[in-house]
Structure 1
């Protein structure tokens, strides 16, 4: 199996850390959708990161769909999602909040770095920034009320949150500070000390 994409993408890194956490062997080819577009096109003509190629040669896309596939490979109860409905629902909520934060941070980064300054749309950036801050505030509240463990048995919610926080600090640290979200920052910092994270650094 092969994972295609750069680890500075939270979506790619989320998949890579999850695969490592589940003990699934994979080859990682670090290809940029920008600088390595032609190579990426050879592997996946729609040029989408992350791309995952199964042992049968099937090309999969979208981090959650890739993780659904590998979860099925491990079998029910052996993946990173709880089986019990209540626990699964909470994991889905936390993971969803983390994915919203990814998305909004990416949108802000692209607006700032890919669109010429004279045509950047300030109301759009303000709106998206508000969504990012709200997602982080919700995660802060959730982790304060019911802490997660950033230990060796970290689940999909914890992986997604930690990867997202590190990405946000990389691309929009001026908007989201550790001082404003101390519980979230502490959790991510602890998770980043795990071997599965250190072996797959964002930068």
Structure 2
């Protein structure tokens, strides 16, 4: 398999970490959606990452769809998410909140770097959404006593939250307050201490703008 995209993307990183934890061998092509868009286009006309090329040439796009396929490959006993029911729905909601937060954090970067005239209204809306999601995730994580979000074993929700928190802290210094969101701070630290997180990482260097 070939995973396309740079690890400073929380979406690419969550897929790569899942691949590693599941034990899949893969080739990594760290192509940028800006500098390498023409390389990505033949595989994904949206020119977005992550893009995963399977061994038979089939191409999967979007992190949630890629992870769904990987879960199917490893089977119910090993999948890092419940196969059905309320627990699965809660896990998917947590993942959706985390990746939605990531989308807003990325949007803020684009607004700052790509637009000559910034929309203060749009930027404030993104910040409000980010802090709202962090509040919701903090409340949820703070009520969980198990090592990971849904039990004793790490899952996709844990990985998504961990990857998005690192990106947000690096892309927007000062936005994440460990004093306001202590349970999330502890969660992020637990994730980053894992070998897969240590191995699969690329610091985000926020462009000047």
Q: TM-score, normalised by structure 2?
A: 0.90
RMSD of aligned alpha carbons:
1.7
Among residues 126, 137, 144, which one is paired with 1:128 in the alignment? Answer: 126
Unpaired runs of at least 5, structure 2: 204-209
1:196 and 1:144 map into 2 onto residues whose CA distance is: 24
1:7 and 1:105 map into 2 onto residues whose CA distance is: 16
1:177 and 1:122 map into 2 onto residues whose CA distance is: 22
Deviations 1:17-48 (A, max 9, x none): 11111111111111111112222234434311
Q: What does 1:79-118 correspond to in 2, within 5 Å?
A: 79-83=79-83, 85-116=85-116
2:3 and 2:153 map into 1 onto residues whose CA distance is: 22
* Residue 74 of structure 1: how far off its partner (Å): 1.1
* Residue 115 of structure 1: how far off its partner (Å): 1.0
User: 2:165 aligns to what?
Assistant: 165
User: 2:39 aligns to what?
Assistant: 39
* Residue 197 of structure 1: how far off its partner (Å): 0.5
1:149 and 1:19 map into 2 onto residues whose CA distance is: 21
1:168 and 1:46 map into 2 onto residues whose CA distance is: 24
Equivalent position SS for 2:41: helix
- The answer on whether the counterparts of 2:44 and 2:61 sit within 8 Å (CA) in structure 1 is no
Report the number of matched residues: 201
Deviations 1:159-201 (A, max 9, x none): 0110010010110122222222111011111110100101101
* Residue 148 of structure 1: how far off its partner (Å): 5.0
Q: What does 1:1-203 correspond to in 2, within 5 Å?
A: 1-83=1-83, 85-116=85-116, 119-150=117-148, 153-203=153-203
Q: TM-score, normalised by structure 1?
A: 0.93
